[in-house]
Amino acid sequence: MAAKKTEISKRATDVLALLKREYPVAICELTHESAFQLLAATILSAQCTDVRVNMVTPALFEAYPTPAKLAAANISHVEQLVRSTGFYQTKAKNLIGMANQVMSRFGGEVPRTMDELLLLRGVARKTANVVLGNAYGLAEGIAVDTHASRLSLRLGLTDTV
């Protein structure tokens, strides 16, 4: 068992070195200008590409530039704006619910802790980690999705998913 852990550790070190060479500056592909925008964009990114989200968010952020504006939004208008991201009814409810909670619980400021972010509608650990890492520069954890799990298996970093 110890030999296998050592082998996986060596493999992980090699993969990390390769990734650092290929991608010396890794950035979040979601276009955003604030923690609020990144939070909204990340909620929209579920089961959707970052390219599609980046096509949708300019109109969304123009109509609803702040948590207060989004909290007061008409749900059918938000649904119309985010429709092409898929699951638009749920995403619209999550966006408006998140904005209401940011206003009522956090005075209009997107929280800076994992525990507080997880209280927001539509936010799970992946979304919280994206916001903490990219908006606030806090390394609370790793944003892992099905792609990361699949690649970890393919790269020999794990034998289970």
Q: Is 91 a catalytic residue?
A: no
Q: Is 14 a catalytic residue?
A: no
Set 10, 14, 69, 145: catalytic member? 145
Give me 59's structure tokens: 């109109």
Greatest CA span in the chain, whole angstroms?
A: 58
Which residue numbers are catalytic? Answer: 126, 145
